[in-house]
Amino acid sequence: MAVATRDRDPVGLLQRERPARPDLILVLAFVALSMVGILMVYTASAPRLTAEGLDATLTMRRHAIFVVAGFVCFAGASLIEARSLRMMAPLLYLGALVGLVLVLTPVGAVRQGANRWIALGPLQLQPSEFAKVAVIIALGALLATVADSELRWHHILRAGVVMLIPSLLIFMQPDLGTMLVIAFIAGIMLFVSGTTWRQLVFLLLTGIVGTLALLQVNALKAYQITRLVAFLDPSEDLAESALYNQTQSEIAIGSGGFFGKGLFQGTQTNLNFVPEQTTDFIFTAVGEQLGFVGATLVLALYAIVVWRLLTAAVGARDRFSQLVAVGVAAFMMFHVFVNVGMTLRLMPVTGLPLPFLSNGGSAFLAMSIALGLGHSVWIHRSPVPGERQVL
């Protein structure tokens, strides 16, 4: 009986590294999303800028600079090896906390009733965006020590502490959306670390109770309550103003129809009906101008990104890399679902940017870095499927 021989790269015991080849699907999806983002930011900002007598490309150009910077960050992060990243975890975590504290000091800049920014010369950085990445890395480092199916309650407690410190700082800004992202990421990473059913139920209950408790706490800034209560009970009077954004956003997306109105043909977009359209509500520009077809394609690109990240996680060489890839996937997923869901009136208004589309430098950079870290997990995956490396 003839034995079929397969051509294989010889894999020696000492040769466990494969040439660093990028995940082309992921990179193309990332680039495509960024390009759509530049186009959408341009179409959403140009009419207003023109009306004010300014250069129509002003906002788009600023955004494009961040996109280029983001590409560089992505490439850089893709090359970082898990080992060195894990060693830097405590440092990155502390740095994030320092940034979050600085925001609350006079160094922080107040914009739209919230101080989330630090001015660095002409740049305004938003430490909370980077804090999300830091939390992913920190949690990955913490939970990488857990052996399969041996997640203990103390792990959950420690993960809770790692998550809660930046959350509290963010809560004081206030930025409810970011708190929820961090909580979601933590939950997902704990799940992949091997929660028991009991632990899973506990986590879910804690999440629900925690969110509800926040609503009851008077400390919650009025506008957060308004946005949330209005969403939960649209019959309230305050719904009128708080739900305005979402009503207009739904009208904008809905009026796009199947094929969309075409670029610059969106009346809702052109006439500034949707507030914060280049940032939080950028998806309305997609929906109105490109229609169901375009919006679905954009969602498909996100699905590809999440799929590639999860695939990277499955093939990760070590536990830490796997958790980081899962954390990044959860990060992307949560932002996409909450942001798009908000424009479609499925979710309350939270102010989470849409990855790679929303105009906003810090978020774009932080997400590029996060995506790069996930990409790095793919690049540095084990040549032998299933092999784990203990760092």
Partner 1 sequence: MKPGLRIGALGIVFLTLFGVLVLQLWRIQVIEAAVNEEQAQRNQVKLVETPAPRGEIRDRNGELLAGTQPALAAIVDGALVPEEGTPQLDQLVQRLSAFAGIAPGEVRHAVVDAISQGERITIVGDLEADAALRVVEYEEEFPGVSVVPIPVRSYPLGELASDILGYIGDPNAEDIKKEEIGPTDTVGRAGLERQYDDDLRGVEGRILYRLDAQRNVITVGAEQAPAPGANLELNVDVGIQTVLEESLAQGLELARQTHGDPECNPADDPACPVRAVGVVLDPDDGAVLAMASVPTYDPNIFVDGVSNDEWARLSEQAVFNNFAIQGVYAPASTFKAIAYVTALEEQIFPQEITEPSADGGYFCEGRLEFAFTDGSQQVFNDWTPDGHGLVDLSGALETSCDLYFWEIALSVWTDRLRDDGRGTYAEDLLQQWSRRFGFDEVTGVDLPFETDGLMPDRDWFERTQRESPGLVRDGPWTGGDVMNAVIGQGSVLATPLQLANAYAAIVNGGTVWQPRVVSRVVDQDGTVLRENLPTALREVELSPQTVAQFRRDLALVVNSPSGTARSAFEDFGNNVELVGGKTGTAEVIKGETAAEDVDTALFVGVAPIDDPEYVVAVVIERGGSGGRVAAPTARRILQYLLNGPGALTEIIAGEEAD
Binding site for partner 1 (CB under 8 A): 51, 148-149, 188, 191-192, 194, 244, 248, 250-258, 267-268, 271-273, 275, 287, 291-292, 295-296, 299, 302-303, 306-307, 310, 313-314, 319, 322, 326, 329-330, 333, 336-337, 340-341, 344-346
Q: Is 221 left (phi over 0), alpha (psi -120 to 50) or beta?
A: beta
CA distance 376 to 309: 10
**Amino acid identity, residue 338?**
V
In 3D space, the residue among 97, 88, 103 whose CA is nearest the CA of residue 166 turns out to be 97
**330 vs 365, beta carbon nearer partner 1:** 330
Q: What does 298-329 look like in DSSP terms, one character per residue?
A: HHHHHHHHHHHHHHHHHT-SSHHHHHHHHHHH
Alpha-carbon distance values, 371 to 29, 128, 167 (Å): 11, 17, 22
Q: What are 295's two structure tokens?
A: 């919006």
Distance in Å, CB of 168 to partner 1, minimum: 27
DSSP 157-170: HHHHHHHHHHHHHH
- Determine the 3-state secondary structure of 124 from DSSP: strand
Which residue, 224 or 284, has its beta carbon nearer to partner 1? 284
Shortest separation between residue 314's beta carbon and partner 1, angstroms: 5
32 vs 344, beta carbon nearer partner 1:
344
Q: Which is nearer to partner 1, 126 or 249 (CB)?
A: 249
Smallest gap from Cβ 344 to partner 1, in A, equals 4
Q: What are phi and psi of 124, to 5 degrees?
A: -120, 115
State which residue, 158 or 345, has the beta carbon closest to partner 1: 345
Instruction: Report the residue number, 223 or 307, with the smaller CB distance to partner 1.
Output: 307
